[in-house]
């Protein structure tokens, strides 16, 4: 016999076990590392801007449905000779007419209206693609800023360890009488500055993580680290080839379709200058003679005053404005491309020079000065200067890498044809490791 109490007692441990495993899985996700692919996936699922554009497409499709419908027929009932005086006081002389009429659109209005709405849906789709690419580009930029902040935090941590080691060495040398006690004060000041820089780097990293997670609506970062080879440098792609891709971007296509839509609207307004015809027919009953007769009617508007000339003229101006707007959009896109490509080339050259020449020399100088100090051939002030110079070069190198990656992300936004190309790897640099 089935006992509900026994069943519930057996079920509760199972529920508890499932909840524990589910909670542990959430905790694992919250504390895991993140990749660019994962960041883009979360953005596509939860970004409010993309959700708004998606809803806008649905509204445009609903408008398309409405514009494709024909006008409804009208039913008209008319009664005469009722409720009067004398011989018309009753219903004996009542005459009842029932008519059914239909508006007939002429000039191809229905087809032209469908063309306008169809182009409107296409514009909405292209605008969504453009917005999606733009949001993904911003996510890429935020992701690279997290990588840069991680690099900067690591760099300041290394400088902090160097400063602590320097203080330890100076203390030993002062205690042995080889250096002046003033050297300890200098080492402590250097250590305090390194600690301050490290704390600032940690705050910057926390802020960068929040900026990134905000794209998918998270108040606090639910990841520990962002994965990626931030120091990867690839030669920029061919400028001519990238420029050729601009004509096929959703932004340019949307402006071209907008011109087509405005042209279709102009044709629709010209068609509306032709008055529509209303035809109808019905039956009329006469109580007095108990007879019936058929009714036929037609209504044709006379274009005496309005021939829709004002609306046609306005549609012509909107078409001209759309054409000029398309030309302006192309020029603006080209200007943005030139600026982004120039920034990419400049950042690449600077980062390459720092990596291959300046940084190795700075490290060599620092090691030489440090060794000279240990041998008593120079004072600690030279060590501090060499250490600060090395830190400045490394910081400049990290900043150049960030400029390089941000410019690459901007070129992705300007030139990418398919927004899903951004979900796996930075298109032009190949510098994000998404193996996880």
Cβ count near 210 (within 10 Å) = 15
- CA pair distance 417, 177, nearest whole angstrom: 70
Q: First CA to last CA across the chain, in angstroms?
A: 52
Q: What is the pLDDT of residues 165-187, one digit of tens each?
A: 888 888 888 888 877 888 888 88
Span 12-41, mean pLDDT? 57
Whether residue 295 lies inside any domain: the answer is no
Per-residue confidence (pLDDT) for residue 431, from 0 to 100: 36
User: Per-residue pLDDT for 145 more than 90?
Assistant: yes
- Quote the CA–CA distance of 179 and 44 in Å, as a whole number: 61
The three-class DSSP label of residue 285 is: strand
pLDDT of 30: 52
* Domain assignment present for 15: no
Beta bridge partners of 291: 286
Is residue 66 a part of any domain in this protein? Answer: yes
Q: Using alpha carbons only, how large is the chain's radius of gyration in Å?
A: 38
What CATH number is associated with residue 186?
A: 1.20.1600.10
pLDDT at 5 (0 to 100): 44
Condensed to tens digits (0 to 9), the pLDDT of residues 35-46 reads 999 999 999 999
Res 23 pLDDT > 50: no
Task: Classify residue 315: in a domain, yes or no.
Answer: yes
Cα(363)–Cα(369) distance, integer angstroms: 10
- Model confidence at 26: pLDDT above 70: no
Stretch 401-426: mean pLDDT, rounded?
Answer: 71
Coil vs helix vs strand at 295: strand
Asked whether residue 301 is domain-assigned, the answer is no
The answer to whether 278 and 242 have CB atoms below 8 angstroms apart is: no
Range of the domain at 253: 36-70+105-273+308-423
**Is residue 103 within 8 Å of 276, Cβ to Cβ?**
yes
Number of folded domains that form the chain: 1
**C-alpha 29, offset from chain centre:** 24
Beta bridge partners of 297: 280
C-alpha distances (whole Å) from 422 to each of 76, 229, 253 are 61, 16, 19
Distance CA 196, CA 304 (A): 83
In a domain, 47, yes or no: yes
Does the pLDDT value for residue 8 go beyond 80? no
Task: Give the pLDDT confidence of 56-92 residue by residue, as tens digits.
Answer: 999 999 999 999 999 999 999 998 887 777 666 667 7
The answer to whether residue 296 is domain-embedded is: no
Task: Give the model confidence (pLDDT) of 197-232 as tens digits.
Answer: 999 999 999 999 999 999 999 888 989 999 998 988
């Amino acid at each position: 016999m089935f006992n509900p109490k026994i069943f519930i007692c057996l079920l509760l441990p199972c529920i508890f076990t499932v909840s524990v495993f589910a909670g542990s899985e959430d905790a694992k996700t919250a504390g895991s590392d993140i990749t660019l692919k994962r960041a883009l996936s979360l953005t596509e699922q939860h970004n409010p801007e993309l959700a708004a554009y998606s809803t806008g497409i649905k509204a445009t499709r609903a408008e398309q449905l409405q514009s494709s419908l024909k006008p409804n027929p009208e039913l008209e009932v008319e009664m005469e000779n009722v409720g009067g005086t004398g011989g018309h006081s009753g219903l004996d002389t009542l005459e009842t007419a029932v008519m059914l009429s239909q508006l007939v659109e002429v000039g191809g209005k229905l087809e032209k209206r469908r063309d306008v709405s169809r182009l409107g849906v296409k514009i909405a789709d292209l605008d969504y693609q453009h917005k999606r690419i733009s949001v993904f580009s911003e996510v890429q930029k935020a992701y690279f800023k997290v990588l840069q902040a991680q690099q900067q935090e690591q760099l300041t941590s290394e400088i902090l360890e160097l400063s602590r080691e320097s203080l330890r060495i100076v203390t030993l040398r002062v205690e042995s009488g080889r250096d002046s006690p003033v050297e300890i004060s200098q080492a402590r000041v250097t250590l305090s500055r390194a600690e301050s820089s490290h704390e600032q780097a940690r705050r910057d990293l926390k802020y960068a993580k929040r900026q990134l997670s905000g794209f998918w609506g998270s108040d606090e970062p639910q990841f520990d680290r962002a994965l990626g080879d931030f120091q990867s440098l690839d030669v920029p792609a061919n400028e001519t080839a990238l420029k050729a891709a601009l004509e096929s971007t959703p932004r340019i296509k949307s402006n071209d379709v907008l011109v087509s839509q405005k042209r279709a609207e102009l044709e629709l307004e010209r068609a509306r200058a032709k008055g529509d015809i209303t035809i109808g027919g019905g039956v009329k009953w006469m109580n007095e003679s108990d007879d019936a007769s058929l009714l036929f009617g037609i209504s044709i508007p006379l274009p005496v005053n309005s021939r829709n000339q004002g609306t046609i003229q306005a549609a012509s101006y909107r078409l001209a404005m759309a054409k000029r707007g398309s030309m302006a959009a192309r020029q603006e896109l080209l200007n943005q491309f030139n600026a982004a490509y120039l920034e990419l080339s400049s950042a690449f050259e600077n980062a390459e020079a720092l990596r291959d020449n300046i940084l190795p020399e700075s490290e060599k100088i620092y090691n030489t000065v440090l060794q000279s100090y240990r041998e008593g051939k120079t004072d600690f002030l030279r060590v501090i200067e060499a250490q600060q110079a090395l830190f400045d070069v490394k910081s400049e190198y990290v900043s150049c890498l960030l400029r390089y990656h941000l410019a690459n992300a901007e070129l992705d936004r300007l030139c990418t044809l398919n927004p899903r190309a951004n979900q796996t790897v930075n298109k032009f640099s190949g510098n994000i490791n998404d193996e996880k």
